[in-house]
Amino acid sequence: LPAGSPADQLPRYVRVNTLKTTVGDAVDYLKREGFSYLGQAVRLDNLTLKNKEFVLDMHLPEVLAFPPNTDFHDHFLYKAGHIILQDKASCLPAHLLHPPAGSQVIDACAAPGNKTSHLAAIMKNRGRLFAFDLDGKRLSTMSTLLLRAGVSCHQLANRDFLTVDPDDPQYKDVEYILLDPSCSGSGMVCLRDGSPADQEEEKARLAALASFQLRCLNHSLRFPRLKRLVYSTCSIHSQENEEVVAACLQQNPNFRLVPLLAQWPERGLEPLSQCLRASTTRTLTHGFFVALLEKVSDGRGIKK
């Protein structure tokens, strides 16, 4: 990353992998190594740390925050799969979906699998986690990551999610879907430093992404037993976020938005304030968007 870029200022976030360890054990290990633990953050500015300080996050129970650029790539806890290097905002989707242990879940666009391993941790490795991705290379990276993280409840498939048949009997008990489709990545601060692309080209690219995202969302809602779905992007463009969700809700009146984390400081753009946004300034994370959709009726008796 270029020195002095906004990414340099963000805390280094780490998710404790509860399939391999506990938050308490990870904290103790890091303390023995010379990091100083300041307890759980209560305010945003508690996440601004220096030297070897670290805190437990105030919104996400398994997330630790360290000073910017703390490097864990060669660290034992990382190599052993006890910690996952994941931005705080990208820990929101699995945390908010929160599928119970034993449930059947789809991660529709899953590679490289950080959210898949988070889902598996929440499910305590019990139940089934169907994970799809179009990109074979990213899927093989994902296999390695999941192995290291001790995930065992998954079934990976190199598939275009849009061709996965919602009426296939193997998905008949799927109640939860995490949809984190390809997006412009405009929320990733390290990607924002380049020179602006041609305006017309950029507009066409966003329109193509938004139409793909809406198709994925509509497709997801066709799984017959679906109860809850999380939609997320690392984009800051409303075209890929609120506009996609609003169009989907209009086309699927049997789903509604669930209001998320009242204490989270940044909301979806009006009128979609049930959704969350994240940004470098308001949440000290990369730019991000999350919506949680819930089925209103079981489709048999839509109220007149």
Residues annotated as catalytic (active site), given as ranges: 234
Count the residues of the shown chain that bind ligand SAM, applying the rule CB under 6 A.
18
Per CB under 6 A, 289 contacts ligand SAM: no
Q: Nearer to ligand SAM by C-beta: 55 or 145?
A: 145
**CB of residue 191 vs ligand SAM: minimum separation in angstroms?**
12
* Residue from 80, 162, 191, 261 in contact with ligand SAM (CB under 6 A): 162
Per CB under 6 A, 180 contacts ligand SAM: yes
The rounded distance, in Å, linking the Cα atoms of 139 and 135 is 6
Find the DSSP H helices in the chain.
23-32, 76-79, 92-97, 114-122, 136-148, 199-220, 242-251, 280-283
Per CB under 6 A, 160 contacts ligand SAM: yes
Buried b / exposed e across 267-280, counting CB within 10 Å, b at 16+?
bbeeebebbbbbbb
The rounded distance, in Å, linking the Cα atoms of 58 and 101 is 24
Per-residue tokens: 27: 């904290």
For tokens 């997320």, what's the residue?
232
Per CB under 6 A, 87 contacts ligand SAM: no
Q: Which 102-121 positions form the footprint of ligand SAM (CB under 6 A)? A: 109-115
Find the DSSP H helices in 165-285.
199-220, 242-251, 280-283
Stretch that binds ligand SAM, among 63-71, 98-106, 155-163, 220-228 (CB under 6 A): 155-163
The β-bridge relationship of strands 83-84 and 63-66 is: unpaired
Per CB under 6 A, 171 contacts ligand SAM: no
Q: Which 123-152 positions form the footprint of ligand SAM (CB under 6 A)? A: 132-135, 138
Per CB under 6 A, 181 contacts ligand SAM: yes
Paired residues of 267 in beta bridges? 276
Per CB under 6 A, 220 contacts ligand SAM: no
Give me the residues that bind ligand SAM (CB under 6 A), please.
109-115, 132-135, 138, 160-162, 180-182
